[in-house]
Amino acid sequence: MNNQQPPQQESTEEIDLGQLFKMIRNGFGNIFKVLLRVFLYLKRSSLKIIGLGALGVALGFGINQFKDTSLKTEVIVKPNFDSKDYLYNTIDEIDANINTKDSVFFNKLNIDLAHLDGFKVLVEPIEEEKNTDDGDDLEYLELLQNFKDESFVLEILKTEMSKKTAINHRISFHYNNPVTGRDITNKLLKYINSNSYFKKVSEVHRQNTLTRIEKNNVLTLQIDDLIANYSKGLNQKKNELGEGRVYLEGENGLNVTGLLGLKNRLVEETEKKRMELVQTKDVINIINLGNSQIVKKPFLGRNIILIPLTLIGLFFVFSGVKYLNKKANELQD
């Protein structure tokens, strides 16, 4: 009896494995049948699906063409006095007020809410090309080392560093009406430049710039006087002591070359400061206020993709409901 038990267990395991493999084969067979039915269904309905897709593309393209023409005005600006964060926060504020139709905000700006349909504001940075005159800048900085104890050197360095980090930005105003849209654009630009804090900063900066120009002019005159007096002194020494002695004293005398280089730089800085008075007149300096232009509509717009997918999806839903209804009727019979 004991010798017959192991063969019976082995036989039972073989039967169980055989049933398992049979179930797996049946499962794969059923999956294959389902895929085959789906393929046959798509094959029978291919003309209808292609037709609905073509119809959807045509409808989407037609809707895009008949939609109202969208316009935009692009404004290139340069934030002054570290006001880049203020610019972006203000644009976000304006966009939020447009979305919520804030009547209090727009009434203060004398903007009619009815004219804000389709209006939106976007801002993005514009990368500038790198400056290639680094050699001249290094030479300039080396020259300033000879006058590092002077107070005006620090302000010159600050000005040069601020120019290196300045980046322009593009504000895009999108609208539908070319008349009211342009008017709203101008009012919003005035609002951006109306910050009281930065207005005070701008006024102080303007006063400092004018003071810097006056000091540069005084320093330039002083350099001219030093060189002129030094030249007179050399001529007197030449007449009294002879040419050789004058040459030796000239080596230990005034650094005329350095002074002339400094004078040229001061003149250049004065010219730049005068330009700076114009460029920093406002908080956000408007470099270019573009004209109204038509926004190009992409051929593969949202409607051209969404409408065909919707029609094809509805076709599958209708076919599925029709199939379920057929099976329900068969069960009732």
Q: What pLDDT, in 10s, does the model give residues 88-134? A: 999 999 999 999 988 899 999 999 988 888 899 999 998 654 454 45
Q: Tell me what pLDDT residue 244 has.
A: 47
- Please answer whether residues 90 and 192 qualify as being in contact, where contact means their C-beta atoms are separated by less than 8 angstroms: yes
Burial of 68 (0-12, 13-18, 19+ CB in 10 A): exposed
Mean pLDDT of 288-305: 72
What is the Cα–Cα distance from 57 to 312, expressed in whole angstroms?
Answer: 11
pLDDT in tens, 163-189: 555 589 999 999 888 888 899 999 999
Question: Cα dihedral sign for 107, 112, 113, 118?
Answer: negative
Identify the residue whose tokens are 């073989």.
Answer: 14
- Stronger pLDDT, 120 or 244, i.e. the higher one: 120
- Please answer whether residues 196 and 86 qualify as being in contact, where contact means their C-beta atoms are separated by less than 8 angstroms: no
Q: Tell me what pLDDT residue 121 has.
A: 92
What is the Cα–Cα distance from 137 to 148, expressed in whole angstroms?
Answer: 16
What is the Cα–Cα distance from 60 to 297, expressed in whole angstroms?
Answer: 12
- Please answer whether residues 143 and 265 qualify as being in contact, where contact means their C-beta atoms are separated by less than 8 angstroms: yes
pTM of full prediction above 0.75: no
- Whole-Å CA distances, 257 to 128, 251, 261: 35, 12, 6
- Stronger pLDDT, 185 or 60, i.e. the higher one: 185
What is the Cα–Cα distance from 85 to 21, expressed in whole angstroms?
Answer: 68
- Please answer whether residues 73 and 121 qualify as being in contact, where contact means their C-beta atoms are separated by less than 8 angstroms: no
Strand partners, 170: 76, 124
pLDDT in tens, 185-210: 999 999 999 999 988 988 888 888 88
